[in-house]
Amino acid sequence: MSPYFRSRRRIACAVAMVIVAATAAVLRAQQRFDIFLLAFDSKGFAVTDLKANELQFREDDKLGTVVSLDRYRWPVKVTVLVDNGRGGAAGVGTGTNAGDGGTADCSSNNLVHYRNGLKRLFEALPNDVEVTLIATSPNPRYLVKPTSDQVQIQKGVSLLVPDYEFVGRFVDSLTEYTQRLDLEFKQLTREERPPYVPVLIVIASSSLDGSQFELTRASRMLESLRNYGVATNFIMVSPCSRATVNLDEGTPVLIAKKAQEVTRGRYDAIAHAGTSRLATLLPEIGQQIAARHLKQMLQYRVTLERPAGAIGNFGNTGISLSREGVQYVMSLDGSYP
């Protein structure tokens, strides 16, 4: 069992038996199929020594077969896109406090809040989670290339500096991210899953974007986010500008909300004056990602076969464990939110 898991995380679940009637639509007419199972004891600690003969599978009270049970580790990899430009970490916008339309720095920069939040985010992650950090202004660029080295990650956060001249390129950064996934996963068949779960965290201005919006590129980007099961977290910060916010089709808010919708991800809106919230919001997201990663690294893949003579749609199905005090939760695809 992971030392990190024992010291910092328990599996917060309390289900002893899961009826999987909902699998009918997904697994229709398959005689042999896989499910994914996370077992835990009465104290909430992961059980990592289950055997296939401790499981029993039934459909409509007829005994099926547990063909195999093996550990299935499916890690997460985290990419963070952070706007360091005007409206982002630089915290500079047009307009004055008096609202006379002049140009002024209407706030001290947000850099300290961004750095503090990012450092605490990365500290919340298990040491084996790979991290990438990208600044989006004036162009998308690496501050931390993919690594799980905490020293390098924290050094990368210190490299985040404000760009007072340009705004972040929100759509361009999302597009480049999905294009990298396209290249990495292009050999996968429809039946194969990516070798890891991509997790994306975006901190961006809610109305300022230096990208050249193209509907076709944006549509492909959204399709890739959905197809690869990217777990998205959008934190949209309102700029300090008093200028009218453009709400046409290409604005960051509408793109972020559409991406959040297609991925069933998370969306948080923060007022410019409330950027100190990042110091608690980012580690909160980090803790959620850590819990997911640990569950997916401690789970089992179970191959089941339907009872003799069972054909067509599934009936009432269920799995039980014979070991006393052991409970479980189940996933159809190995992913835990």
Mean pLDDT by 10 residues, the chain (337 residues): 38 38 50 94 94 95 95 97 89 45 48 94 97 96 97 97 91 96 91 92 91 89 95 89 43 92 96 86 98 96 93 86 94 89
Scan for tokens 């069933």, then name that residue.
264
If we measure between CA atoms, which residue out of 242, 234, 241, 245 comes closest to residue 270?
234
Q: In whole angstroms, what is the distance from residue 252 CA to residue 170 CA?
A: 7
| DSSP designation for 88 | T
CA distances to 96, 157, 160, 261 from 112, in Å: 22, 11, 10, 31
Token pair listed for 133:
């950090």
Helices (H), the chain: 3-8, 23-27, 111-124, 150-158, 170-185, 215-227, 252-263, 278-297
Q: Residue 85 has which token pair?
A: 């430009």
CATH code for the domain defined by 76-293? 3.40.50.410
In the prediction, which pLDDT does 29 show?
A: 56
Domain ranges of the chain: 3-73+300-331, 76-293
DSSP assignment of 171-183 equals: HHHHHHHHHHHHH
pLDDT recorded at residue 272:
76
